[in-house]
Structure 1
Amino acid sequence: MDFIDDPPESTDQERFQRHNRFLRSLKSDTLLIIDNFNVTATQDSFLSVVLKYRCQILFTTRSKLDEYCTLPLKEIEDMNALFQLASVFYSEADTYRATVEKIIETVHSHTFAVELAAKLLENGISTPDQLLTRLQVEKASFHNEDKIKIIKDGQSSKATYYSHIHTLFSLYTLSLEQQDIMCNMCFLPSTGISARIFAKWLEMPTLNEINDLIETGFVQTTTRRTISLHPMIQEITLSETKPSVTRCHILLDSLQKICLMHGMEVDYYKKLFQTIGNIIVLIEKDDIPKYLLFLENAFPYMDNYNYYKGMNGIIQELKCLLKTKNIGTDSDQALLLDFQAALETKPEKAIKLEKDALAQIETITADNARLVSNIHANLGGLYRMNSYPDLAREHMEKSFLLLNQFNLLHINDSIPQIANYAIFLTEQQEPERGISELQKLSGIITEYHSDECLDYSKVQETLGTIYLMTANLSQAKTHFKKAFKIYEKIWADEPEMIEAKYQEIQELYPQIGFCIEKNLSGLLTK
């Protein structure tokens, strides 16, 4: 049997390449088993991808995939087998065999409930008799039982099963720190995330508390220390801990700091964005100003990675919140309109949105100058793309003046503004001025960030574009190569993004394609 065993020191790129080679090698005589695939086909793009492989595939799942051949399986009914399962986790099971067997019957022989009960007994939190009594008489405190999506033995007993899991959960009497960990874990993507990354988000000095939760069975883990919550445990944790902006402020602050670290990319950004998406859906908004700032800082970072699903989610959330008159400021309203314009495909509508955004701000101050500068720059870019050079110059120069006036040239927002302004100046027969501004910007990025970040690559790509526009092919090649060296490093696990960038430049500038094609094709065939 073939299997993938990643060394713990493997990088994400090495794992990606190893897994791809493995999956491409599978033939029709190979059986690939995917255990616990507990989402629907519409909830997970993984299903459509894996079904393209040429091997035979067997899923174990609680989801109903009616369009495929299925074989319904009942819970293990053999008491000896179930008792052996409990014995794995409870060292004194033989001593209390009669009571343990009654506990197994009470939880309807559900293997997950049996495991949790055995681990609870092993920890000494309850005696077998005490646990049996609680399971027999206690009802679940969660009232929305009809919302449970997990289907294991039909509609008639799933709520009862849920009640048992809820009772086992409540009996553990987790410490306040463990409750906070579980509360914040509710937002993690179903595929999980590195335990160390999550601990860093919560500013935890060690993994001890997480390891204890793994021992209880509430937190699931893999050999690479990826952690997640069982779907039913997530439901119960949401009910018990009621995660809110105030309670989860450490997590939100950590995610916000990452989104503000422009020029410093993280290789787990998809999981980061999925976590933010879950926060939007699940968190209680008990501190609206803090929550608004969190969303407004996340949007530009998602834009940096073209994560349109998340960007649309943030726009919809802001629309919903800002409908209420006493929520948000004029700047919040302006920013929402600016975000909408960023995703608008119709130029005339995007221009109107940006003009409406400017109209929200009556007086320019140090607090809103950055926002006003951005809106002027975006509006100037739209006018430029739609052949209104005079209006484009007017708004781009207003943007540039505000950056200078309020000492904002070093911030990330200045990068696209100056890049677009430099292209515009070149189109208006002023390339030297545009190149000069970009070279200054390159120095600022290197000083404040590095020369290996996406911000730096974007400036290099813009310089390459300007040199092509001025027929300086040699300089153009130099700057495009610098840009692609960074793209290939940062997007190493997503060759489709590199391919899209290559195609974009190849279509615009066919004469430059040969100078980067070799590097790109080499990466794609690894």
Structure 2
Amino acid sequence: MYKFCDFQSVTKLLYSGLIKSTIKSYNVMMSDLFGAYNAAERKQAFTSSELSRLGNGKRVPSKTWVDFYQRNDKSVMIADIMSIIPNIVDKTSMQKALFELYTNDRFIPDDYMQIFLSSHKPEYSDDNALAELIYDVLFISIVRPYEEKTKECFVVIPFDVSENEVPFTDQKADVLPTVNIKSPESPDTLFANSEYVPPCPHFCGYASDIDDLNTMFAKDNKLFVTGYPCVGKSEFVRAYIEKYRSQYKKIGYYFYSGSLRSIIANMNSDMPVSLSDTNNALYISNLNILHTLDESTLIVIDNFNVGIEDDECADDILKLKCRVIFTSRRRYEGVTTFKLNGISKNDGMELVEKFFDNPTPLAEHRLKGIVSMLGRNPLFIEIVGKMLIKGGCTTERLDFELLAGDYSKFDQKVTFTKDGKLMKESLIGVLRNMFGFSELSEVHRKVLCMMHVAVEAPIRKDAAIAMFGINSVQPIDDLIDAGFVSETSNGMIQMSHFISEIVFSALKPDKNICRELIDRIRLIGKDESIQCDFGDIRNIIAEFAFFPIVKPDTEAVEVAFDCFKFFWRIHDIERMEELNERTFTLRGLTEPKQLAIQELEEAAIEAEKRNYVKALEFQKNAIEKIMALDDEYLKAEAVSSYAYYLEYSETADSTEELYEAYQRGIELFEGLELDNGGKVEQCRIITRYAYLLLMTCKTDEALAWADRAVNTLANLRPRTVPRYESFADALYVGGLCHLLKNDDKIAKFELDRAFRIYLMDHKRESDFIEDKLEWVFNFALDVDSDIMETKPLKYLFEVEDDYDDDLDDDDLIDDDEEFFLDPDAFTEDEDTDKSDSSDEIE
């Protein structure tokens, strides 16, 4: 690769073999390697302009530089060399490469070569010997003669051995010139400090996307190439440049490091302008030059991982006539974006087989799945291919661990090139570093963890805010902008499966990190009265309930039971069954309480299917275990549900037996100090007991119990109108009682209110609504009431009216709040007017 042991070749070779996570740039290496010279002669670090010219062969070490190392002992340079030795990735390969670079240089005199060969070997032995070798190779590259063939183009020439010392030509001194501001009339040198590096040798994929990107310039000459970290955005743009280079007269390529102002000001300056510099002369001058350029010029701003509004000079760049490509992992609005979603499966297989060739048919089959699970991410695929060839893992283990969504066990480090820099890192190390988890605040990390365990299907932002216990939408919007979370046009958010697995691998969510989410889910499961405060959270609770984040099993079963109660209340039999199966089938539970909870859930499932006899059997078995436990609340719940199943199974010997069953449940609740959730459960059994009394012709007693339930639930949260089914049930029973007592005004109000709540979760034609309406219809006929002329009951029976279109969820609750607080404020005539006015309803 290198023909001569010249300064450019030696320093480039050294830099290519360093660990880039420690020695982050060529500038850093040079400052370390020649620290003594800097300290003695220059009093400051090398400038980026100097290093760019030195690295490209446009400058060679100055006479001052040569004099310094010729007059000082070699221990001065070796001391600096020793500081970089620990950061060499492969010392054996470095020793061999430097040895061959020196020995293959045909311009080095024989006597120098003999001394070198007697002092060094191509095989690495220890750090001291390697340091001596680096010194001899580096020293000869500094003091050897060069000749400037053309402007800023130096070549090596043969040594003049007639002198005692190694001679040197009087090269162009590499000193700090005064800042030269190029005039608008000379844009040819504007991109002198371009940082372009060619695509990596094994780049593949995105062939059609490259053409599509070029086509998009017809729509907009400012394009933002976006996508997940390591998806290949930078390599993609470089491949585009290689293919369409002929379209452009000038190309400038720069890495964003926090300031577009700095990039523009330093495009051709020999002296970097610091961010604190208030002198904008360079920036304004170069910006004026940029304004003279057309679409034959392309500028690339790589790694622009900030918002457009976060850089004060972004608008200046967007107003240019030339073409500009930004690469970023963020999401943008109001600009033209080109999102990369990963290379194709075929390209992924081609890439992985460049490193792990000739796989067996079974291994090849697994690799196809592995490529997909890696998000078709080129860098991840490359790392995995190199892990396989180095024997750090097998396709079988990779397939198993990735299916489990865990990258954290892949800690074997491999060497790869990114942005032209040689790096050595593991797959999990790349995930943690490239995705910027360390840059996120604690709140952002917590939100990511909670989304991982609870958000697979899209949910509304407001529901996520309430469930995650955050004070504003800002953390979620930040994560959307950063590319971790995606957002739909109607305010729904979601985390992709690929990002979810990365979050799990990098952040390891546990019950402590997700404590706010767990507490809210359990609270909702226990307290029906707050359910409406959180919006539609069915998907959140479903995802969370199926994620094994809570340990030990004793706590996990209780948390899952609270989730089960939530789905039980909304009659979601499918999720009830799925949750019950996941909770108990995969665990070998033996403790009585856990077994009892399993039977309680199975009884509830059978009851929802209206298999009340079977439900009663499960409930009896559960109660036998529960009565031996020290859990009075669970006893009250179990006994209350038993009474309900007993009634509807029609297996009771007498009505008195049913009365006694309900009364036992009520008594157990009355002996407890109940929170709001407990009071709702107590009122549930009271309402069921009231309904039984009503159906057995004890209307006055039924009304007294129903009113007790209504008043208790209405006063749980003052000034808030309840919107949940247990409250509707109490209103419904009270309304039926008032109907039988010919108190139509109260009956109309309570039944109207009850059905407004029912219709929030049940369709008009559902069996649930039909069952409720059947008794209203029958009782109205018995007492000759016009209750069926009151909305919404009137519209429930008039099929030709599309009630679902007329009725708004907010209308279901807000219309009659004044009546709810003071029923006497409404007259019979006002009710009639309302029921007859279809215009008002519409």
Give 1:240's aligned residue: 506
CA distance in 2, matches of 1:364, 1:168: 48
**Counterpart in 2 of 1:355?**
620
Question: 2 CA distance for matches of 1:119 and 1:476?
Answer: 74
Residue 302 of structure 1 contacts residue 311 of structure 1 at CA under 8 Å; is this kept in 2? Answer: yes
Superposition deviation, residue 355 in structure 1:
0.8
Map 1:291-302; keep pairs closer than 5 Å: 291-302=556-567
Is 1:171 aligned to residue 442 of structure 2? no
Which residue pairs with 2:715 in the alignment? 447
Q: What is the match of residue 510 of structure 1?
A: 777
Corresponding residue SS for 2:646: helix
Distance change >3 Å, CA 354–CA 362, structure 1 → 2: same
CA offsets, 1:283-302, max 9 Å, x none?
43434343323222222222
- Given that residues 550 and 556 in structure 2 are in contact (C-alpha distance below 8 angstroms), is that contact kept between their aligned partners in structure 1? yes
Structure with the higher helix share, 1 or 2: 1
**Which residue matches 1:88?**
224
RMSD (Å) for aligned C-alpha atoms: 4.6
Supply the distance in 1 between the matched residues of 2:583 and 2:530 (Cα, whole angstroms): 26
| Partners of 1:201 and 1:250 within 8 A in 2 | yes
Aligned 8 A contact 2:626 2:634 in 1: no
* Separation (CA, whole Å) in 2 of partners of 1:77 and 1:500: 57
* 1:249–1:104 Cα change, 3 Å: farther
Distance 1:327 1:256 in 2: 22
Partner of 1:381: 644
Q: Pick closer, same or farther for the CA change 1:286–1:440 going to 2, 3 Å.
A: closer
1:397 aligned residue: 663
Shift of the alpha carbon at 1:398?
Answer: 1.5
Q: Which amino acid aligns with 1:496?
A: K
Asked whether the 8 Å contact 1:340–1:353 carries over to 2, the reply is no
1:348-380 Cα offsets, whole Å, 9 max, x none, are: 211111110111024475x32x32222222222
Maintained 8 Å contact 1:245/1:283: no
The alignment partner of 2:680 has SS state of coil
Residue identity opposite 1:475 in structure 2: D
1:273 touches 1:310 (CA, 8 Å); kept in 2? no
Identity %: 13
Alignment of 1:360-509 (within 5 A): 360-363=625-628, 365=630, 367-368=631-632, 370-385=633-648, 386=650, 388=652, 389=654, 390-406=656-672, 411-449=679-717, 451-454=721-724, 455-467=726-738, 471-472=740-741, 474-475=742-743, 478-479=746-747, 481-488=749-756, 491-492=759-760, 496=763, 500-509=767-776
- From the superposition, tell whether residues 322 and 486 of structure 1 become closer, same or farther in structure 2 (CA, over 3 Å): same
Matched, 1:524 2:658: no
Q: Is the 8 A contact 1:256 1:294 kept in 2?
A: yes
Compared CA separation, residues 307 and 160, structure 1 to 2 (3 A) = same
Q: TM-score, normalised by structure 1?
A: 0.65
* Secondary structure, counterpart of 2:493 in structure 1: strand
The 1:333–1:525 alpha-carbon spacing in structure 2 relative to 1, beyond 3 Å, is: closer
Cα distance change on mapping 1:230 and 1:374 into 2, 3 Å: closer
- Change in Cα spacing, 1:380 to 1:98, as seen in structure 2 (3 Å) is closer
Q: What's the offset of the Cα at 1:337?
A: 4.9
Q: Secondary structure at the match of 1:284?
A: coil
* Contact 1:221 1:228 (C-alpha < 8 Å) held by counterparts: yes
Match status 1:199 vs 2:465: yes
Q: Which runs of 5+ in 2 are unaligned?
A: 1-205, 227-232, 243-299, 307-325, 330-347, 356-365, 385-417, 419-426, 781-787, 807-842
Residue 308 (structure 1) shift: 2.1
> CA, structure 1 residues 475+177, in 2 after alignment: closer, same or farther (shift >3 Å)?
same
Segments of structure 1 that go 5 or more residues without pairing to the other structure are: 1-72, 91-96, 107-117
1:198 offset after TM fit, Å?
A: 1.8
> Is it true that 1:122 corresponds to 2:304 in the alignment?
yes
* Counterpart check, 1:311 vs 2:557: no
Amino acid at match of 1:121: N
Structure 2 CA distance for aligned equivalents of residues 514 and 432 of structure 1: 25
Q: 1:210 to 1:407 in 2, by over 3 A?
A: closer
- Which digits, 9 at most, give the CA deviation of each residue in 1:81-138, with x for residues without a partner? 4898994258xxxxxx9966237799xxxxxxxxxxx9981138xxx99x9xxx999x
The one-letter code matched in structure 2 to 1:253 is D
1:13 aligns with none
Contact 1:188/1:228 (<8 A) preserved: no
Task: Report the equivalent of 1:76.
Answer: 209
- Give the Å deviation of 1:327: 8.9
Distance in 2 (alpha carbons) for counterparts of 1:85 and 1:231? 33
Superposed, 1:125-204 pairs within 5 Å as: 146=369, 160=381, 170-174=433-437, 175=440, 176-204=442-470
Quick one: structure 1 residues 452 and 74, their matched pair in 2 at CA, closer, same or farther if it must change by over 3 Å?
Answer: farther
Which deviates more, 338-347 or 413-422? 338-347
Distance 1:507 1:98, change over 3 A: closer
Amino acid of the structure 2 residue aligned with 1:381: Y
Q: Secondary structure of 2:589's partner? A: coil
Measure how far apart 1:224 and its partner are: 4.6
Shift in Å at residue 252 of structure 1?
Answer: 1.4
Whole-Å Cα distance in 2 between the matches of residues 497 and 189 of structure 1? 30
Alignment of 1:327-342 (within 5 A): 329=594, 332-333=597-598, 335-342=600-607
Aligned partners of 2:452 and 2:495 also within 8 Å: yes
Contact 1:380 1:396 in 2 (8 A): yes
Question: What CA deviation, in whole Å up to 9, does each residue of 1:212-256 have, x standing for no partner?
Answer: 322222211234543212333233333433433343222111222
Assess if the C-alpha contact under 8 Å between 1:119 and 1:216 holds in 2.
no
CA distance in 2, matches of 1:351, 1:119: 70
Q: Are residues 302 and 483 of structure 1, via their aligned partners in 2, closer, same or farther at CA, if it must alter by over 3 Å? A: farther
> Matched residues in 2 for 1:202 and 1:267: separation?
13
Number of positions where the alignment pairs a residue of Structure 1 with one of Structure 2: 419
State the AA in 1 paired with 2:793.
E
CA, structure 1 residues 190+445, in 2 after alignment: closer, same or farther (shift >3 Å)? same
1:294 partner SS: helix
Aligned to 2:171: none
- Of 74-83 and 219-228, deviating more is 74-83
How many angstroms apart in 2 are the aligned matches of 1:343 and 1:196? Answer: 31
Tell me: CA distance 1:508–1:206, structure 2 relative to 1, closer, same or farther (3 Å).
closer
Compared with structure 1, are the counterparts of its residues 517 and 343 closer, same or farther at alpha carbon in structure 2 (3 Å cutoff)? Answer: closer
Counterparts of 1:98 and 1:406, CA distance in 2: 65
Whichever residue aligns with residue 202 of structure 1, its letter is: F
With the length of structure 2 as denominator, give the TM-score of the two structures: 0.43
Kept after mapping to 1: 8 A contact 2:690/2:703: yes
- Give the match's secondary structure for 2:529: coil
Deviation digits for residues 437-479 of structure 1, max 9, x if unmatched?
Answer: 22122221122145533232210111233455xx43x336743
